[in-house]
Amino acid sequence: MKAELILENGAAVKGEGAGAPGKVSGEIVIADTMTGYEDVLSDPAYEGKIVLLTFPAAGNVGITGDPSARPKPAALIVREVCDYPSNYLCQCSLGEYFRMHSFPVICGIDTRALAKKIRDAGNLMKGTLTVTD
């Protein structure tokens, strides 16, 4: 899949799509924790937002909680999604979870450079993420 993130300042970032096709607009929120993507996906504070994970990989342990729980963010920006988790508690892979909930994701981009660009612009930026087949 192809994916494109267009920031409100006109900058565009192209990457690979993961999860499900779709188009989402909203505020981009930076989550710069080293671990805890499951916490980010279930945190009501991220409801309706596009979350940018600065840690380079997500999905190494898969989804260890209830995979039927709907993700709170509207979309996710991540450098790499691991589709082959290695944890005995894993209920499903992150990619399976995204597809199950029709959740759009862009990956294959430099998330740290993108976070710096957003912070340099004042730390509050909206964007539109489009994932197509």
The pTM assigned to this predicted structure is: 0.93
pLDDT tens-digit readout, 53-99: 999 889 999 999 999 999 999 999 999 999 899 899 999 999 999 99
pLDDT tens-digit readout, 22-46: 999 999 999 987 778 999 999 999 9
Report how far residue 95's alpha carbon sits from residue 73's, in angstroms, rounded to the nearest whole number.
Answer: 15
Going by DSSP bridges, is the β-strand pair 57-58/75-77 parallel, antiparallel, or unpaired?
Answer: unpaired
Query: Where do we find the tokens 């691991």?
Result: 82
CATH number of the domain that residue 77 is part of: 3.50.30.20
Count of domains for the chain? 1
Give CA separation, 74 vs 21, 77, 87, 120, in Å.
13, 11, 26, 24
Report how far residue 104's alpha carbon sits from residue 113's, in angstroms, rounded to the nearest whole number.
Answer: 21
Structural domain range at position 76: 2-132
Give CA separation, 26 vs 29, 32, 47, 71, 85, in Å.
9, 19, 10, 15, 29
